[in-house]
Every structure is written in structure tokens, then in C-alpha cells.
Amino acid sequence: MAKAVTKSAGKPAAKPAAKATAKPATKMASKPAAGKAAAKAKAKPARKSALTISMLKPSVNNMTVRVFARAAGLDHAETDAWGHTRSPEYMARNPAHLTPMIEDKGLPRGVLWESCAIMQYLSNKHGLEKFYPKAPAKRAMIDSAMFYLIGTLYPYVARATYPALGFPQYAGEVGHSDAHPDRKSEAQKAAVAAIAEPLEVFHSFFRDGKPFIGGKNPSIADIRLAATLEFLAVIDYALPKWAKEYVAAMEKKLGKAYAGPAGDVRGYIAHVRSQAKA
């Protein structure tokens, strides 16, 4: 949802959802200590996580990296970038003003954006072959699925759902223009209709009878796909049976790592839907 949250002079369109779920920083991979140990742990100054994720809670692009970091057990901290992506400080680090963005020592420019690139980098860095296989042919299929998603499926999903989500669309799109509402509605309907074909490709080609694109276990491409499908709830898109089962299987397999960030997206969708009804 590029340009989504800073519609007008940096004030987010969806503050309530962000607020409802807002907690400044989430530390992962630190188990709660008990008794004396807890008191001791309290006395220590908080250790700074090596990895920081700047993120927006209602976004599925962000949900992708948030689920991944949790599922991979990476020690990380989250910074809510709501309303800050166009600030001079953020733009100086990230001229694309996008989230998710990670800051990690060793990156040539200190930061990295694009959800799939972030998952690829962190998998490479930490040897997470379970999520991103090293064998060239297997890896190529994961890459293909992710590029196909970002280049083909996601633009349809964005055109179909952004109007309902209250996110502006990209410059040059009918939905972004001064066109008559009927034309915008036609464009949205056309995008909704276009989703079925690429969606089926993920099922028949990339999954190919396996539970996940990654095989028995979810890969980074699966995290990207499942998160993307979450947005479709805002338009009551009739997901095929396999897709419903697939998202449920992802949630079952990844547990809280999936449910937590998904809860933020679902909370936002519930909020915009309640606003629309009111």
C-alpha cells in the first residue's frame, strides 16, 4: 500500500486500528523469567535487538515480515512507523518511504525494504533453509512464486481492496484519478475478477498437491501469499476452499507467529467494515 497511510500531510487514515493494536516495540525470543530470576532480569538494562523492523500494523506487506521474524525466532524489535514514513528522518534513510523496513548492521546502506527481499536476506544471513531452501532449483520456485505475487497478484489485490480499506491507489490508476465513481467501481470489479486466475496458479502450479509452496513446511513465499490473502476479507472475496484451508493450515503451523500480526490486519479490517456500516 505505497502512499497509503500518509494520505494527507502525514495523518493516517486509520488511526483507530493502529491505536487499538499499538505497542511501541515488540521484543521477540525473550522468554518470561520467573521468581528471583525475573527480578534479576528486571534490574538489567534492556538489551538492544540487533534487528529493527519499522512497520505498519494494518498492512499485509508488513504482516509478511512480522510473521517471518516471529516464525524464525529472530531477536528483533518493532517500531511503529504510522504517520512517520514521509518524515525527513525516515526519508533520509529510506527515500522510498516504505515499510516494512529493517535496519541491520552490515547492510551497505544500513536499511532494507521490500518484504520479500527482507525475508530472503534474513534467511540467507541466518541460514534459515527451512524457509528458503538453498538448492538452486527449489529456491528458484520460491523466488518465482514471490515475484509472481508482487508483480501480478498483489496489484490486482490492491486495486480490488484498497478502495474498501481506505487506501489511495497508485498514480495513473483509475482508482486514483478524478474519474466518475462508476468508472472506478468498474475498475475495481475488473480487478476482483482478475484475482482468480493467478490465485489458482499458486494452488495448481506452485503448491502442486503439497500442503505449502515450500512442501511440508511453509516457505517465505507461503508467508507472503497467506498474508496477501488476508486483505481479501475486506471485500468478502469468496476464497476457494483450498485457499481457506491453506490459510488455516498456515495459521496452525505457525501458531502465534502468524496469529499475532494477522490479528492486527484483521482488527483493521473489522474497524473499516464497522465504519462503513455506521
Summarize as ranges the residues that interact with ligand GSH (CB under 6 A).
1-6, 56, 59, 61, 85-86, 97-100, 114-115, 150
Helices (H), ranges, 72-135? 88-93, 115-126
Q: Give the nearer residue to ligand GSH in terms of CB position, either 133 or 168.
A: 168
Q: Give the nearer residue to ligand GSH in terms of CB position, either 3 or 273.
A: 3
Which residue lies nearest ligand GSH, judged by its C-beta?
Answer: 1
Alpha carbon distance 105, 77 (integer Å): 14
Distance in Å, CB of 100 to ligand GSH, minimum: 6
Q: Give the nearer residue to ligand GSH in terms of CB position, either 38 or 221.
A: 221
With H, G, I as helix, E, B as strand and everything else as coil, classify residue 236.
coil
Alpha carbon distance 173, 162 (integer Å): 12
Distance in Å, CB of 43 to ligand GSH, minimum: 38
Q: Give the nearer residue to ligand GSH in terms of CB position, either 96 or 190.
A: 96
**8 A C-beta contact, residue 70 and residue 25:** no
Q: Give the nearer residue to ligand GSH in terms of CB position, either 85 or 188.
A: 85
Distance in Å, CB of 50 to ligand GSH, minimum: 21
- In order of 32, 59, 225, 236, the CA distances from 14 in angstroms are 33, 11, 24, 20
Q: Which of 5, 37, 25 minimizes the C-alpha distance to 76?
A: 25
Distance in Å, CB of 270 to ligand GSH, minimum: 18
Helix, strand, coil percent content, the chain, rounded in steps of 5:
55, 5, 35
Q: Give the nearer residue to ligand GSH in terms of CB position, either 9 or 278.
A: 9
Q: Is 137 exposed, middle or buried (0-12, 13-18, 19+ CB in 10 A)?
A: exposed
Strand pairing report for 101-103 and 51-55: antiparallel
Distance in Å, CB of 26 to ligand GSH, minimum: 18
Distance in Å, CB of 165 to ligand GSH, minimum: 10
Alpha carbon distance 21, 85 (integer Å): 18
Q: Give the nearer residue to ligand GSH in terms of CB position, either 75 or 114.
A: 114
Distance in Å, CB of 11 to ligand GSH, minimum: 12
With H, G, I as helix, E, B as strand and everything else as coil, classify residue 183.
helix
